[in-house]
Structure 1
Amino acid sequence: MNNKKLKARDFVTTGIFSILFIMIFFVCVMCMSFIPYTQPFGLALTALVAGPVYMIMRAKVAKPGGIMLFGAVYALVMFGTGGGWAIPVAAVAGAIAAELISCAGKYRNFKLNTIGYAVMMVAVAAGSYIPLLTMKEYYLELAAGNGVENDLMTQIVEFISVPYLACALAATAVCAVLGAVIAKGMFKKHFIKAGIIKEVN
């Protein structure tokens, strides 16, 4: 990298990909929310489908601060759309962890970028679903304030358990890795050009 500082173009690129990622997130969560039993796997589906978006963003903005900028945008949107405080906090914490992990590979190591992505998505999933066990009343009130059907949230809160959430978090990690692998297949030439993966003859 000739210039390690984020430029105006990097902010715009990160912003565009962040919004695209968030749009995919809302669609995936909505699709998984029709049935209470699948709702905790909304982040797993997001991690899979949005993996290529995140990884191509890493290729285009392979500079310090890019991941934290993504996390900040994600956190602000989640908070602004009534997601409470736990999800934004988890998103920022996950983005910081992902930033440190990717930084260890100078932002151009596919494996470390993938691990960072998985860690970040698991953190967001934890911030989204663990409070349903620890702050049930708060989230029922939050959901009611956001116009979510009370019966749906009540069912989710009632059946969610520690083992079930552990499965959801594990699924999120696995789907994040799969999403990154899919991205590698889709954008192999771009990743080679960006120096994230090496060309194999």
Structure 2
Amino acid sequence: MQAQTSLAAQSSRWTMRDIITLAIFNVVMLILMTIAPIITVVSHLLVGGFTALLNGPIYMVMSNKIAKPGTLFFTAVLTGLYFVGFGYANYLLTLAVIGLICELILWGKGSYLHPVRNAISYSVFYVGYSLCGVVPLIFFRESYLATLEKSYTPEQLSAMLYYFETPSMILLMCSISFVGGLLGCYFGNLLMKKHVKKAKLV
């Protein structure tokens, strides 16, 4: 009952504090997103799920702290802009669309404080993250391959294309990302119940 009261009293208007919170937490998540491929030895099947697992607790704290529409969309856009800096401009479009889909999943007041819906939308976001290597091959193949050739050897590129162009591998990769997202949010909820809320950080 107390949670329902806090939901009703909560404003959907963003404040400077919300923007700063979004920026700080996203910097941390982007750092982990950069480290994850190194830990997983650039396994294209595992990297999305592993990253989602690592970032899940951080995301859950951030989204519960802000708890306003647009939190996941802005996270998607910031992630896309990060990849634009590395020359992968097409990722921004893919992630922005996925961010909008996630916001539709979270449509309604107080949805960010609903652990199941929040976990599902976060997991969908990481499915989109995994598809960032697939979508450009469909719509921007030549320019995308030209960008990849600058960063990968022919052998590495051939292995990458196997995962990003084989339907069964794409499905498996997205499934792993989705499950990783759910597990990350599960651990994030445990963290909040045991430590974060007790410390009154959310």
> If the length of structure 2 is used for normalisation, what is the TM-score?
0.82
Specify the alignment match of 2:173 in structure 1.
168
C-alpha contact 1:84 1:142 (8 A) present in aligned 2: no
Cα shift at 1:115: 0.9
- SS of alignment partner, residue 67 of structure 2: coil
Distance, in Å, in 2 between the alignment partners of 1:84 and 1:43 is: 19
Work out the CA distance in 2 between the residues paired with 1:109 and 1:193.
20
Please tell me whether the aligned partners of residues 44 and 171 of structure 1 are also in contact (alpha carbons under 8 angstroms).
yes
TM-score of the aligned structures, taking structure 1 as reference length: 0.83
Taking a change above 3 Å as real, the CA distance of residues 105 and 8 of structure 1, as seen in their structure-2 partners, is: closer
Identity %: 21
Q: 2:154 matched to 1:154?
A: no
CA gap of 1:178–1:158, structure 2 versus 1, over 3 A, is closer
Structure 1 139/28 Cα, relative in aligned 2: closer, same or farther at 3 Å? Answer: same
Aligned position for 2:24: 16
Aligned equivalent of 2:122, options 84, 98, 117: 117
Q: CA contact under 8 A between 1:6 and 1:65: conserved in structure 2?
A: no
Say if 2:69 is the partner of 1:69.
no
In structure 2, the residue matched to 1:42 is: 47
CA separation of 1:137/1:32 partners in 2, compared to 1, >3 Å: closer, same or farther?
Answer: farther
Q: Any conservation in 1 of the 2:46–2:177 contact (CA below 8 Å)?
A: yes
Unpaired runs of 5+ residues, structure 2, are 1-8
Does 1:55 find its partner at 2:63?
A: no
Offset of 1:10 from its aligned partner?
0.6
Q: State the partner residue of 1:127.
A: 132
How many angstroms apart in 2 are the aligned matches of 1:84 and 1:19? 19
Q: 1:113 to 1:158 in 2, by over 3 A?
A: closer
State the alpha-carbon separation in 2 of the partners of residues 63 and 167 from structure 1.
32
Query: 1:22 deviation in Å?
Result: 1.0
Give the equivalent residue in structure 1 for 2:95: 91
Residue identity matched to 1:30: I
More moved, 128-137 vs 8-17: 128-137
